[in-house]
Each structure stands twice: as structure tokens, then as C-alpha cells.
Amino acid sequence: MIVGVECTAHTFGVGIVKNAKILVNVRDMYRTETGGIIPIECAKHHTDVANRVFESALAQAKQDKGDIKAIALSNAPGLAPCLLAGLRFAKGIAKELDIPIIPVNHCVAHLEIGRSAGAKDQVLLYTSGANTQIIAFASGKYRIFGETLDIGIGNLLDKFARHTGMGFPGGPRIEEYAKKGKYVELPYAIKGMDVSFSGIQTRLQQLYAKGESIEDLCFALQETAFAMLIEAAERAMAHTGKKELVLGGGVACNARLQEMCRMMCEDRKASFSCPDKSLLVDNGAMIAYTGEIMFKAGIKKKAEDVDILPRERTDDVKVTWR
Ligand code: ATP
Ligand code: FE2
């Protein structure tokens, strides 16, 4: 039994996995009514809820502490204060139970859980708050074929939401408004497989100041930014000859983005998959799931040897378990 702890940003989560089966996935998210994440406040949130989330996960899964083989911890990448809060908590448990820690890269966990639906050799479209990457596995690493040149797609949504007073997280609220909107033209910036969102952000703010309706802006934002992602993903599939697309990360919760992926894949006779919502947004189960795969490949560390790596990239990680 592996317990996974997620702590990299807004969410403190604990998941429990046994033989690739998710027994439980408990999360507590730091939210705001207005404004974005304040890292120190968010870290305090994690420390406050950690024990309760952990105990509740064990109780819901009807498991005993003594059966935990290792703690998988999302030690990278993320907000340093949040990572430290998680590290302190994981070390406490590891020392108490005398078990090792498996350091898991958060982005790699989004990818591994995306693959859990059964795709064999896929292109991964990773769309989350801080990251937007088009990825395929080659020569022992998750290679980045294309990515955002500035902010992540989720951050674009969250920034616009913050600007217009919607609070955090912005994605779900924008999705609701978009249902009643119509198209307005926004900058469409893609070079090869790289995308850029800052022009969209500026234009949205200008149009909002001019009194353009929030519904139309939300609709146009989704249609334009998502179309760029689909174009980049399709180009990666064409170049690599891969026939499977997996969508992952928190923004993948968006029904319109899923629909656009599905349409593109149907057109090129490729398959498309996307995990359940509870596994798309940050969660402890994806950390436990990835941790178990790594553990079985012999990857584990003594608690005192684990540190946080706030800036570790997806393609820094040697994927020795594939
Ligand atoms: P990263 O994985 O890059 O470190 P993160 O952990 O902050 O970033 P996730 O939890 O994977 O990101 O995703 C959070 C993002 O998902 C937020 O930007 C949020 O607005 C967005 N999001 C959540 N639900 C939806 C939705 N229905 N439509 C669009 N975006 C959404
Ligand atoms: Fe994430």
C-alpha cells in the first residue's frame, strides 16, 4: 500500500493505492473569493488540513497505518512554501512509521495517471495551471515537443478570472459563462508546436475595459486558446506518427476542450482518452499511483535525503520505470 501526498500548489491531497488500484482520493483545496494564491497562506492551509485529510483517507479506505510501505510525495515542481509544508508532513509520517519516501514529479504524475486509461504510445496534451506542454515519451524521458512560451493555459484563465473579479479557480467559472457567449476575435499565436497566451490576455483586458460582455469574452477565450492547443497537438501527432492522444492536467476538466480533442482525433482516426475529473485536478491519488510504479522499479529514498525541487521540469526526470 502506497500513500501519496500532493502539495505543490493550491491542493493538499492524500490518495491510497494498492496494486494500481485507487482505494481513496481525498483533497482539500485552498480557494479565494477574489485574488489569486498567496503562497505563504496556501502553505499554512496545507499544514492546517494535513492530518485531517490523511486520517480521513485511511479511515475511508479502511486501512491501517502500519501497512503503508512508502509515502509518495510531490516534491517538485511548485510553490516552495507549499512544497515545504508537504515535505515536513511526509517526513513526519515516514520517520514515525520508519518507511521510505518516493519523490514524485507532479507533472510526471499528471502524465502517468493520464496513461492509466490504457493508451500505449500516446501524445500527451498536458494543460494545467502553470504548464501547457505537448509531450511524447522517447529515449527514457518525457520529451517536450511544444509548450507555452509564456504563461500556462490555466494561468491565462485564472488571470482573466481574477481581473474580472471571479476569484480562484477561474476555469470552471469561465466554462459556465462561455456557454452563453459568442465569438469575438482574439490573437491566435502559434509557432510550430509552441503557443503563446500573453497577447490573448492583454486583448481580453482591453475588450473588458471597453465593456465587451463577459460571456462573449469567455467563449472567445476558450475557442481561441483551445484551438491553438489542438493545432499544436495535432501537429505533434502528425510528426511522430502516433495514433493516441491523452489529455491531462486541471484544464482538461473543461468539456469544450475535451470535445475539441475528440473531434480532432476522429478526423485523423486516432484514439482519445482523458481520465476522470477527480484525477485531472491536483490530487493525491495520481501521486500514489505514480509512486507505486516507481517503488516497484526500486525508486525510494530515506526521509532525510529528500528535498524539494521547486523548478524541476518534466524533461529533467529520468523515467527508469518505462
Ligand atoms: P501544474 O500542474 O502545472 O503545476 P496546477 O497544479 O496549478 O498546475 P491543476 O490543478 O492541474 O494545475 O489545474 C488547475 C487549473 O485547472 C486551474 O488553472 C483551473 O482554473 C483549471 N480548471 C479547473 N477546472 C476547469 C474547467 N472546467 N475548465 C477550464 N479550466 C479548469
Ligand atoms: Fe497540477
pLDDT tens digits along 177-236 = 999 999 999 999 999 999 999 999 999 999 999 999 999 999 999 999 999 999 999 999
Q: Is residue 116 part of a domain?
A: no
Q: Which residues of 299-312 are buried (b: 16+ CB within 10 A; e: fewer)?
A: bbbebeebebbeeb
Q: By C-alpha distance, which of 150, 154, 121, 151 is closest to 138?
A: 121
Distance 281 CA to ligand 1 centre (A): 6
In whole angstroms, give the CA distance from residue 196 to residue 209: 22
In whole angstroms, give the CA distance from residue 188 to residue 199: 8
Residue 141 · residue 111 · CB < 8 Å = no
The cell numbers describing 99, all together, are 518507511
Mean pLDDT of 267-296: 97
* 77 lies in the same domain as 200: no
- Ion ligand 2 — residues with CB < 5 Å: 128, 282
* 88 lies in the same domain as 207: no
State the CATH number of the domain containing residue 265: 3.30.420.40
Work out the angle between the directed axes of helices 198-209 and 214-240 (0-180°, nearest 10).
170
Q: Is 283 exposed, middle or buried (0-12, 13-18, 19+ CB in 10 A)?
A: buried
Mean pLDDT of the chain: 96
* 208 lies in the same domain as 302: no
Name the percent of the chain lying above pLDDT 90: 94
* 65 lies in the same domain as 155: no
* Ligand 1 within 6 A of CB of 175: yes
- Which domain, by its residues, includes 132? 121-274
Domain count, the chain: 2
pTM of the model: 0.93
For ligand 1, mutation pick of 11, 30, 281, 283 (most atoms within 8 Å of CB): 281
* 233 lies in the same domain as 156: yes
* Ligand 1 within 6 A of CB of 218: no
Q: What confidence tier does 118 reach under pLDDT thresholds 50, 70, 90?
A: confident
pLDDT tens digits along 32-56 = 877 778 999 999 999 999 999 999 9
The C-alpha cell 491519488 sits at 285
CA distances to 132, 203, 222 from 176, rounded to whole Å, are: 22, 21, 11
pLDDT tens digits along 73-100 = 999 999 999 999 999 999 999 999 999 9
In whole angstroms, give the CA distance from residue 14 to residue 7: 9
At 35 the pLDDT is 74
Q: What confidence tier does 142 reach under pLDDT thresholds 50, 70, 90?
A: very high
At 168 the pLDDT is 83
